[in-house]
Amino acid sequence: METVVSGIRPTGKLHLGNYFGAVSNFVRLQQEHNCYFFIADYHCLTTHPVHVDMQNNVKSILVEYLACGIDPDVSTLYVQSDVPEVAELYLLLNMNAYKGELERCTTFKEKIKKQKDNINAGLLTYPVLMASDILIHKATKVPVGHDQKQHLEMSRTFARRFNRLYNRDYFPEPHAFNFGNSLIRIPGLDGGGKMGKSEGANNAIYLSDTPEEISKKIMRAVTDSGPIEPNQKKPEAIQNLFSIMKAVSSSETLTYFDDLYSNCKIRYGDFKKQLADDIILFTSQLREKISEISDDEDYLKKVMKQGAEKAHQNAAKTIREVREIIGFRN
């Protein structure tokens, strides 16, 4: 059994890409491992210092995680800012994180280009906060996408450095959790890249989208004028829609449209209608649960309190030990 930590910044609703790429796997993971899933609201401040609607964004992720099947009695599901020990570990780790290595971080270099007038220290030390999220639970596995690999590598560096400085074998080194072939990547609807990668309103299908919204987005998705020779390779935009169909439709449906494409007989209107219907069907239970859980404020409060307590208990133990190792009084 491994200890697993995963954080998500509360910047919006979950889409199909989040579902297939992460959350549906978390539901399986929680049965086998000691899992901590949290909402990284501190991290949000690095890009959105004045958050438009923090509480609602946190709530929507929480509701959607629960609707997808993350069980708060099995996993520890919590909000980062409810566990102040994370901030204390961040402070302590910051003392041994160097300006040079932080400045070399790819995400930092990208972010400072994007927000030239807000190059704050939190942005620079983002990887230290992320390391604190992971090390506070002494996690060994972190399910991260490719874009987070470097951050995870820095977490290992900080863990190793702490151990070396204080001459203890205290923090384990966290490694990426690899879902292997079971990972389904969902492309966006605007013709290129992952779902959610671009901010275009029609790029992503959200788990909470209504059937009408889903149909509209699929009908508007980028296509072309159709195949011209039998068995030709599908261009990216078309392949993307087939990839989504592979995730949500039956294999018969997929084969049916694949054959039509190969014979140059496909009609994108029919294809898209089928795809939209299947997405609507696939998400119908999730949609119902989202609306049901969303209305149950008492339950949500209870879940958040329980998560905060469970996470705090473990985090407090780590902080006590870390303080002792460094030489502070407890």
Q: How far is CA 119 from CA 49, 189, 248, in A?
A: 11, 32, 41
Q: Judge whether 194 counts as a catalytic residue.
A: yes
Cβ closer to ligand TRP: 7 or 191?
A: 7
Answer for which of 7, 72, 188, 191 binds ligand TRP (CB under 6 A) is: 7
Question: Mind giving me the DSSP string for 169-211?
Answer: --SPPPEEPP-GGGPPP-B-TTSSSBTTTS--TTS--BTT--H
Q: Give the strands of the sheet with 141-142, arranged side by side.
A: 76-79, 34-39, 3-8, 141-142, 175-176
Sign of the alpha-carbon torsion through 81, 86, 91, 96: negative
Rule CB under 6 A: is residue 64 a binding residue for ligand TRP? Answer: no
Rule CB under 6 A: is residue 25 a binding residue for ligand TRP? Answer: no
Q: Work out how close the CB of 188 gets to ligand TRP at its nearest, in angstroms, rounded to a whole number.
A: 17
Q: Judge whether 111 counts as a catalytic residue.
A: yes
Q: Rule CB under 6 A: which of 147-166 touch ligand TRP?
A: 148, 151
Cβ contacts of 34 within 8 Å, gap of 6 or more: 1, 2, 3, 4
Q: Work out how close the CB of 237 gets to ligand TRP at its nearest, in angstroms, rounded to a whole number.
A: 26
Q: Work out how close the CB of 133 gets to ligand TRP at its nearest, in angstroms, rounded to a whole number.
A: 4
Q: Judge whether 197 counts as a catalytic residue.
A: yes
Residue of 13, 141, 194, 310 marked catalytic: 194
Q: Rule CB under 6 A: which of 126-145 touch ligand TRP?
A: 130, 133-134, 142, 144
Catalytic residues: 111, 194, 197
Enumerate binding residues for ligand TRP (CB under 6 A): 5-9, 40, 43, 130, 133-134, 142, 144, 148, 151
